[in-house]
Chain A
């Protein structure tokens, strides 16, 4: 440890201003702070500081994603073998899943972090940790059979257009990971929908439609059971199928206080409310599915726990979060049922509310301002 520190201290002057590699200062700093928490001490204000920092926060979110990731790897293998009529053991399934999923993760991180480092360098900033999470979210919302070049293009699009043009981490309006997903959805619709992409190297004769795909054609009989949708042994995006694994992640996020329980609950509330409304209406099969099923269908759970709670693109006021979350759930179910050509209502709904989040906050703030003005006027009168 001492040795490592000595090496870093010896190399540091080369990467500082005036050194040989001063252009790589941010990169050096990123690696140094990855290894060591900096020795910077407080100068003004509070002399003591909380042990939490951005790295800790982000690593916990990544940790919360691990159950969904592990399940996803296994499920990719499972679906592949089922579609080919085989019933293999546990390890071959994991092996196949790793073969499919790992490259997607590597591509997402390499492309995304590369761009992040380049931007940090050109701006003379420290490298932000935000992409540690985005880089894991992107693979988890991809279909297992997605071509790697598409992952690369989508990631680049998300990081540059979704984030860096607004000023980087903390300034973006849209959730970067969902921006990547939406980009693929609209740029390569044939690769991103239908029933071909959800199972890796599927046998042609086997129907690979997701539950939402079945509902699209109002074919409710082919729907899997609630139990398998909750467990996640169904075709779908890599990390999104298992509500159970996502629930484990949610427990980690809520227990550590990093994910907003307020948002999660209000999204669920919104989804249930819309689902119940449709139940009352009941004009077709889709409207008749029980409200709770919307929570385990498609990307609803994943979006609720990992996407809607992104603090940067969500509403920032506590009251705003309730409205923001409720509308996400409400609109997600609305899009699903009314416009089944866009089966992934959750993605569109979150992106839509990302755009409206600042507006919601604006009105929340206005009500606080009005209250203050009213109090001041009461004193004058």
Chain B
């Protein structure tokens, strides 16, 4: 931790409902893998309803990159393959049988394996999809060699889980995961820690990585910001990234030989009566988790955090990449003269509501837009929460008019939709910016392939 990178621009949104730092067990036999969690993947089914699967049994693969397969996180029976409009694959539901059977991929020391053998093991077990790349935030291409691998060990989003708590006592597993990752790149592995707390020894004692410290408000924990500050992505370059729990999964694969999809998730949000951490497996149903543990108002269930998470139903499942479930009130109400009243309890980044005087106030925020959509009028707002050397408004406009050259010139390779989440929150014009950025990234990926 020789150098600390200070992030000055950003915003910590303080919300009610932080998880209590105890890890409980979440017991459920309902799981699902959701193909829509994977950007740019066109699923081709490998199992049918009624098939018996073990942890590590392939469920589907990507039609356009058939070396990327997705496997079951538990052992049991394929209960339902749920499709949506236009037969889009929504969920592959699996009912666990409790036997915890898993396919044996052989426990091996990654340091003694070749790159090819490591890649093969990761692919066969279905662990590969944890490794994603920038630009575009899609699953990494196994045949490419990234210029570096980035791991963000802390999350600065509202109510985000504390990774120090989650990895506590798993130092050996984490190191095994890192050892495997070191085979994948000739560049460095950057392990980015939070400068303001004392990071877990699991992180600081890891060997074979470069540790970088970051301080500042959200999005300091965003991988995109960290990449941008350490080694920004130029045209044609690829950087891989993943998160601590993904490294643990890789570590367990090499230590035990099985795809162990164990995940600790934080149940958070103002509408949760007893917010806490739960140990479960990837794709667990949230229903037993929230039953009897939430308020009675109309609620929004989010897999992930309030900035970037997915809107899910009560009978739905935790997303593949998520380690947080947030429950907040819906905002479908009319407010008389809401824009004209003083608004002492309103959350705003601008100082147009007096609530800015109470810096440490925690808010119970809902899903209301608080206004109608307008053309971009205000300027200089996004720059306050966007710690890149990039002009956010101009990039967004370039994407809206689909000007490929301009998008490239203004630095679209360096950003992801999550980096624009705060811009979207504070936008006076109420534009859905993340959607626009995603469109731009998809367009660039299509153009470049």
Q: Which residues of A contact B (CB under 8 A)?
A: 1, 4-5, 33, 35-57, 59-60, 126, 128-130, 167-171, 255-258, 260, 262, 311-312, 314, 316-318, 321, 361, 364-365, 368-369, 371-373, 375-376, 379
Contact = CB atoms under 8 A, between A and B. Distances in A.
A47 B375 CA distance: 20
A369 B237 contact: no
Interface in B291-322: 300, 302, 306-309, 311
B401 interface: no
Given A47-B306, A48-B366, A36 B335 contact: yes
Contacts of A372: 234, 409, 411
Interface range for B: 35 or more
Contacts of A38: 334, 369, 371-372
A12 B394 CA distance: 38
Nearest to B334: A36
A303 to B, nearest CB: 18
A50 B350 contact: yes
A35 to B, nearest CB: 6
A123 to B, nearest CB: 12
B352 A41 contact: no
Contacts of B208: none
Contacts of A257: 350-352
B375 to A, nearest CB: 3
Nearest to B347: A51
B340 interface: yes
A248 B285 CA distance: 57
Interface string B358-383: 00000001111111111111111001
A57 B378 contact: yes
B49 interface: no
A317 B352 CA distance: 22
30 contacts: A37-B339, A38-B334, A38-B372, A41-B332, A41-B366, A41-B368, A42-B331, A43-B311, A45-B433, A46-B434, A48-B306, A49-B368, A49-B424, A50-B426, A53-B430, A55-B371, A56-B352, A59-B339, A170-B374, A170-B429, A255-B351, A311-B380, A317-B391, A318-B380, A361-B394, A365-B410, A371-B389, A372-B234, A372-B409, A376-B236
B328 A56 contact: no
Nearest to B437: A45
B428 interface: yes
B100 interface: no
B393 interface: yes
Given A316-B394, A375-B232, 12 more contacts: A39-B332, A40-B332, A41-B369, A46-B424, A47-B326, A49-B424, A50-B350, A51-B338, A52-B350, A57-B352, A258-B350, A373-B409
A311 B302 contact: no
Contacts of B234: 372, 375-376, 379
B372 A53 contact: yes
Contacts of B38: none
B379 A316 contact: yes
Contacts of B378: 57, 258, 311
A53 B339 contact: yes
A316 B378 CA distance: 9
B448 interface: no
Nearest to B346: A51
Nearest to A316: B379
A42 B154 CA distance: 27
Given A44-B434, A47-B300, A317-B391, A52 B376 contact: no
Contact of B391 (A46, A311, A368): A368
Contact of B338 (A37, A40, A57, A321): A37
B334 A5 contact: yes
A54 B366 contact: no
A40 B349 contact: no
A321 B351 CA distance: 21
A49 B337 contact: no
Given A49-B369, A50-B426, A60-B352, A39 B339 contact: no
A156 B107 CA distance: 79
